[in-house]
Amino acid sequence: MEKVKDFRWKKGISVNELVESLGNVGFQSSEMKKAVDVIVKMKKDGAKIFFTYTSNMVTSGLRGFFAQLIELGMVDVVVTTVGGIEEDIMKAEGEKFIIGRFSADDIELYEKGVNRVGNLFIRNESYLKFEDTIGKMLLELYKKKPRWTPSELIHELGKRLDDRNSILYQASKNNVPIFCPGITDGSFGFHLFMLQQKHPDFVIDVVQDFRNILFCTSHDDKKGLVSLGGSISKHHAILACLLNGGLDYAVYLTTAHASSGSMSGATTEEAKSWGKVKDDSDVSTVIGDVTFTFPLIMVKALETLEKDGMLK
């Protein structure tokens, strides 16, 4: 069994060394090191890797890192919420978000036309510009054909962006599908609605996309999941894998706790009761803010995989 070891700083310590040392500290530090090992194993085992996240993570500066993971071949399937689509397009079109304060006066922000996501600020103007952009894009795609699945639509949108840090751009370029089961839950959905009012034959087929995610893997495939946060994106990927025999590898990163009984707080162990995760799977659940736990975990995993020639 592993023994607790005291952590000590040394000059010039690398991220790789830091995470390795934290593995012997205990609590969530040890679970974080375990998450690295699971991610490395799923990649080396040739597992189909599902990557899920909620839109607030695209609001943050993790967006470019997510795009890079797709570029490096670390992701085979993406599932997210619609805000992650909207804000990726916003940033690809040059919009800048602001780091503010958690304790900001929200009434004052409202009066100034500023929307708060934690300590990040998004101006109303950013959404107005997005509305102009997405309206034109959707009309163009409708003229191409009237019926789309969300993943087809998102793929086409990615082809129209020119930003290496864009998740949609990298997914389209590398032929990685992005599923968004809750595509109407945001500004994007309102514009889909408005287009359908003018063109009643315009249809977004979410049921067909459920078929697409089911058939993108099989019982014979090794399947891995890296899930950041929870929500519909996490469950959509898990359900697809459950109906194909369950996950062989799973890493959950969340700030929620199992005591809530929520999807966000449900651990990899709880998932075994449903058959979502196989009994003998390699799993890890890390409790903590993904804006720092995920980069630490992934940098360590990427350096290990790069050394072994496992990256693009």
Residue 276 bears catalytic tag: yes
Q: Is the dihedral of CA 30, 31, 32, 33 positive or negative?
A: positive
| β partners of residue 52 | 79, 227
Q: Which residues pair with 282 in a beta bridge?
A: 249
- Angle between helix axes 124-144 and 150-159 (nearest 10 degrees) is 110
Q: Which residues contact 261 (CB under 8 A, 6 or more apart)?
A: none
Q: How far apart are CA 231 and CA 100, in angstroms?
A: 25
Question: What distance in Å separates the CA atoms of residue 115 and residue 128, rounded to the nearest whole number?
Answer: 13
Which of 34, 48, 223, 276 is catalytic? The answer is: 276
Check if the beta carbon of residue 291 is closer than 8 Å to that of residue 62: yes
Cα dist from 248 to 75, 132, 209, 256, 296, whole Å: 16, 43, 23, 23, 23
Alpha carbon distance 58, 171 (integer Å): 15
In three-state secondary structure terms, 134 is helix
Say how far apart CA 291 and CA 250 lie, in whole Å. Answer: 19
Q: Decide: 156 and 212 in contact? Cβ < 8 Å.
A: no
- Residue 103: CB atoms within 10 A of its CB come to 7
The C-alpha angle 26, 32, 38, rounded to 5 degrees, equals 125
> What letter represents residue 58's amino acid?
V
In total, the chain counts a number of residues equal to 312
Q: What angle do CA 115, 119, 122 make, to 5 degrees?
A: 30
Active site residues: 276
